Structure 1
Amino acid sequence: MRTLFAWRGAGCVATGLLLAACDEGPVVNFAQPFPAGAFDMAAFPARHQAVYTAADSSTSLHIGRTAVWLQELQSQVLGRHEPEAAILRLTTDSTYRSEGGQLHYLRPVGKDSIRDSWLSQDTIFALTGAHAGRLRRFQGRYYLSTPTENAESWEVQRLELARPKLVWQTLGRDTLRLRALDPATVHYRRRNGISYYQLTPMPGPATRHVGRYAGLWNTKGEFLRRR
């Protein structure tokens, strides 16, 4: 599974919680699954297991029983005389599999071009496997916590469902927003040129603040339920 939510940056100058001259920003994670002390759910409720589609119809978010995955329709147009097109030897609508096993759909576009389309899929959260996550519900939202590769912290996303709408959000990395949190919640360290912020909100007011602070969360996508 590709990890989507670990941000790493180099060449940052930090003063307290302020960062400057940073291209990608710091790594911001939680010390443990969020919210701390909440009940771990074994699966997503059946009423929310569905396909949710973005406005452009090319991207969809799928909620299954124990996993969430993103699908996106991608394509490229090749000239018939380009090397890639010559290898495909397209004469009519057809399909082929790439070296990695990905199924591609080919279709002529006019007389001189070929459209090569494929459906990419990326699991963004799973309750099983080598990096099994924790699923918790808090303040009406689902919180999806996944351990980092080194198991030192947890990457947290959240899903807000207000049928038929779904909003997918990830933890932001704006250090000015972090300053608005209880100082005891935010722990900073710098290692190998990378700035790390680890959040440790205690159950109670600090946890409620993190959940309700909209500016702390970045919206990755908005979707409507399809089925």
Structure 2
Amino acid sequence: MTAYIFPPPAVQSLPIRGKTERFPINRLFFVGRNYHAHAIEMGKPVDKSVERPFYFTKSRDTLLDSDSTTPYPPETQNFHFEMEMVVAIGKAGFRVGLDSAHELIYGYAAGLDMTRRDLQLVARDKGRPWDLGKDVEQSSVCSEIVPMQGQIIDQGTIELEVNGQTQQSSNVDKLIWNVREIIADLSLFYHLQPGDLIYTGTPEGVGAVKTGDVITGHVQGIGAVTLTIGAAE
């Protein structure tokens, strides 16, 4: 038995609809600027004919179950919500073709990529990594995983409300790179593994929240995710 000088981190996991077992998490991948209208509102339009998708990662311990409360994070004055459809990978794959990309899918979830926008934009404009803006503690919020082995979701409303007021409303059929394309492309860079989550991008309408706000997001056919913003520590 291996001995450690302090207790190792617990396994990060998410509930699975209809099951007592939980879904263990391996890595968190995020697709940047994957809706045209959001890319435009961020001042960085995307031309799919000459560009490939780009990705960033976040630490596994940023994962937070839906229906949680997270403190307003330090060193930011502009904490943003981003509503996303999440793909849960259930099978290993490397250099996967478009025709077989669906075979890696275990299921889907509704997720939030919470972002220190002010820090992200400073880093972006200076050509620095986005970590301080994106890799924020308790910022990768996710609902339960809905098992949908091998299924491709290519349409369905995606919406977000803050305190009951709609802020984001779109459809996943507006993804610049769809689920098949994302899985196939990402698998050129990584050996995808069971437990990987892919946040597929956010539509337009992102905005700031404050202490006390309640965020609720929905993806049609998948479910909802909820987050309450607590007081700063």
TM-score (norm 2): 0.26
Which structure has greater helix proportion? 2
Larger relative contact order, structure 1 or 2 (CA cutoff 8 Å, min sep 6): 2
Whose radius of gyration is greater, 1 or 2? Answer: 1
